[in-house]
Amino acid sequence: MKKITLIEGDGIGPEITKAVVNIFEAAKVPITWEYENAGQTTLEEKGELIPDSLIASVKKNQVALKGPITTPVGKGFKSVNVQLRQMFDLYQNVRPCCSTPGIQSRFENVNLVLFRENTEGLYSGLELYDERLQMADSIARVTKKGCINIIRGAFKYARAHDHKRITLVHKANILKSIGKIFLDAGQEVAQDYPEITMDDRIIDNMCMQLVMRPEQYDILVATNLFGDILSDLCAGLVGGLGVVAGANIGDEVAIFEAVHGSAPDIAGKGLANPTALLRSALMMLNHLEMRDHAKKIEDALNATFLQKDALTADLGGKGNTDSFAQAVINNMK
């Protein structure tokens, strides 16, 4: 039995993690969960934002599934999500966004994979705030090594999954230094992958292109903030935040989590769609080479999308978190 660290998180976190745990149990996935938590709850209960026990558990198990964690806006502690990514050097954030039969959206043929650099850029935590002058600096530190790592990750994925095109997304017309490092890194890495086409787009144009004709793109790579914004945009192309998975991957540790946050507006009401976290958990099973179990659950999930009434409200259905999870279990062969 493989042991996995399970971080339930805040808001809708406990509801959707419970759904995933139940589905995994029904599918007899050979893993056991080691429960840990972080954020406001553990700060109040244990005086620790990220408890030492969580860090030890992730280090030992090397794989974690994580619910969303709330971050105070404009004040308070630094995002736990960002801290975990930096602490374990999870430099690759991989977010597949595909149209799925049964999930209604404006487009039917989107098949994008977004690679977001996960530890640098405007998330470096280099901020200066001058109260007296009412002036602030947020420093977007980007390194060649960081750019090479994320771009190489995207090329490796493209080769392994038979994708033919990679688009680098940037703002090199204005952010010339960061843009140069990022684009130079792209040129360097691309030489090792002659069978894959690489091009680039400026972020603002990219957003327009994606909402008009998303089907023309394949793999996108961006620095941290652009990747963060693009991934919510891409989620909107394929059914919304309730369905898009994500993986934070480093050389030693991988933490799988949905793209969405703790959704305080629907927390505790049983309304959350567990699909995004479930799909993240399926990425985790593939990462662990448990492909048969992943396929079994994915087939049941895809069958459930075709049962309109079983869907949660965000997808126009009448179901809730628990009934949706039960429908997935019922569809398992």
Sites of contact with ligand NAI (CB under 6 A):
12, 68-71, 81, 241-242, 257, 260-266, 272-273, 276, 314
Residue 279: HSE in the Cβ half-sphere, 13 Å Cα cutoff = 21
Whose CB is nearest to ligand NAI?
A: 261
Q: Which residue carries 């530190």 as its tokens?
A: 141
- Based on CB atoms, which residue is closest to ligand NAI, 37 or 167? 37
- Based on CB atoms, which residue is closest to ligand NAI, 74 or 194? 74
Contact (Cβ atoms closer than 8 angstroms) between residue 57 and residue 5: yes
State the nearest-atom distance from the C-beta of 149 to ligand NAI, in Å.
20
- Based on CB atoms, which residue is closest to ligand NAI, 38 or 154? 38
State the nearest-atom distance from the C-beta of 152 to ligand NAI, in Å.
24
- Based on CB atoms, which residue is closest to ligand NAI, 70 or 124? 70
State the nearest-atom distance from the C-beta of 40 to ligand NAI, in Å.
10
Scanning 13-90, the segments in alpha helix (DSSP H) are 13-26, 40-46, 52-61, 80-87
- Based on CB atoms, which residue is closest to ligand NAI, 117 or 257? 257
Q: Is 219 left (phi over 0), alpha (psi -120 to 50) or beta?
A: beta
Burial class (CB in 10 A: 0-12, 13-18, 19+), 174: exposed
State the nearest-atom distance from the C-beta of 176 to ligand NAI, in Å.
30
How far is residue 54's CA from residue 47's CA, in Å, rounded to a whole number? 14
> What value, to the nearest 5°, has the Cα angle with vertex 24 and ends 308 and 48?
110
State the nearest-atom distance from the C-beta of 94 to ligand NAI, in Å.
14
